[in-house]
Amino acid sequence: MYLYNQGMVSMASQTYSITVNTAARTLTLYSNGKVQKTYSVAVGKPSTPTPKGVFTIKNKAPNPGGPYGARWMGLTAPSIGIHGTNEPASIGNAASHGCIRMHNKDVIELYNIVPLGTVVNIN
């Protein structure tokens, strides 16, 4: 059961949210409003930018295959997700078709922490 509180999702006693800074190419995980970890990510290239706004994680899939690396977390933004990559050199760049790419070890870690419904603020 997930409890919604001030735009963040709670699982047990932890409340998680994610902020993606497209300019800095970082993804920051918050727990109970405090920074837990910041990851380097790849974002959309200029021709296919990452959409900005507030979304939620609507689905999750282990080992989605292809270019999506080890994990997929689909967002409420159409066709956009947070996922691993089979192109680790792209991390830190504007290189995707709008998705947020992470190193596979990082996306596995994040996937195992955040529940469905987690708020993702992309700016």
Whole-number Å distance between alpha carbons of 88 and 38:
17
Q: Show which residues are catalytic.
A: 83, 99
Tell me which residue has tokens 């997700």: 81
Are the C-beta atoms of 115 and 10 separated by less than 8 Å?
A: no
Which ranges of the chain would DSSP assign to H, the alpha helix?
104-113
What does the block give as tokens for 50? 């990452």
